[in-house]
Amino acid sequence: MAEVIIVPDAAAAGALVADEIASLIAADPEVVLGLATGSTPLPVYEALRPRLEGVDVSRVRGFALDEYVGIDPQHPESYRNVIRREVVEPLGLTPERIHTPNGALETIEHAGDDYERAIAAAGGVELQILGIGTDGHIGFNEPGSSFASSTRVKTLTEQTKRDNARFFDSIDQVPTHCITQGLGTILHARHLVLLAFGEGKAQAVAGAVEGPVTASVPGSAIQLHPRVSVVVDEAAASRLRFADYYRYTWENKPAWQGL
């Protein structure tokens, strides 16, 4: 099962995950990271910055989870730009080594397969950062997504459009379609790190970690993966039935095990 780590706040989660990523980079300067957008991973990227000062990160590789389809590539909220602004530039990564699915309409029919090939050619993702949507999605795999899915076009749910409207002038400007790594793609990463903060995520977290494994809660796919760390604050953990056991497990974790 997933290891659930309940931390006091998002900053503590960021520090914990950033420590792990920094040691991966130290061990392998060409490590392949799975990057995520949205508000949730920001504390990780912030905490990484001081940890990577003076470290040669020029060969680190990365693959983002998803992109909007048909969005103007210059739009500040295209995930390509979000990743550039929030990850590549602050951390000093090499832009050509950091990839986002291609949401351009002209090539969309084969963009999913192209992305799968690029991930495979890089040797797969070592550590995949994940947020979770209030509807239980990971990446943009909305409810009903196949656990075997690969990178492909999906239609955003109304709820996701509402959740993401804060990044646009109005909900009507949120694109209807996205291209996202599939649940099958995500499950191939060697270590999944799912983060969630706040009461609004409590139900999705409980469904993903403890609910039945069902395509209706795409995040529950993590239960099929042998190495998952779920890092949540108290509010996001508030609906977990076995929260006390998770705390006990973390407090008694052998120091040599790491995240």
Return the half-sphere exposure (C-beta side, CA atoms, 13 A cut-off) of residue 211: 19
Which two structure tokens, joined as six digits, stand for 87? 């990850």
Interaction between residue 39 and ligand PGA (CB under 6 A): yes
Tell me which residues in 98-157 interact with ligand PGA (CB under 6 A). Answer: 131-133
Catalytic residue among 142, 163, 225, 233: 142
Catalytic residue among 67, 86, 137, 191: 137
Could you report how far apart the first and last alpha carbons of the chain are, in Å? 14
Total Cβ atoms within 10 A of residue 2:
17
Cross-strand pairs, 99: 63
Rounded distance between C-alpha atoms, residue 210 and residue 103, angstroms = 34
Query: Which residue, 197 or 246, is less far from ligand PGA as judged by CB?
Result: 197
Q: Which of 18, 21, 40, 188 binds ligand PGA (CB under 6 A)?
A: 40
Catalytic residue among 67, 116, 135, 163: 135
Query: Which residue, 25 or 152, is less far from ligand PGA as judged by CB?
Result: 152
Give how far the C-alpha of residue 54 lies from the chain's centroid of Cα atoms, to the nearest Å. 26
Is 142 one of the catalytic residues? Answer: yes
Query: Which residue, 25 or 237, is less far from ligand PGA as judged by CB?
Result: 237
Q: Which of 34, 38, 62, 101 binds ligand PGA (CB under 6 A)?
A: 38
C-alpha distances in Å from residue 18, one per residue of 11, 45, 194: 10, 7, 13
Q: Which residues bind ligand PGA (CB under 6 A)?
A: 38-40, 131-133
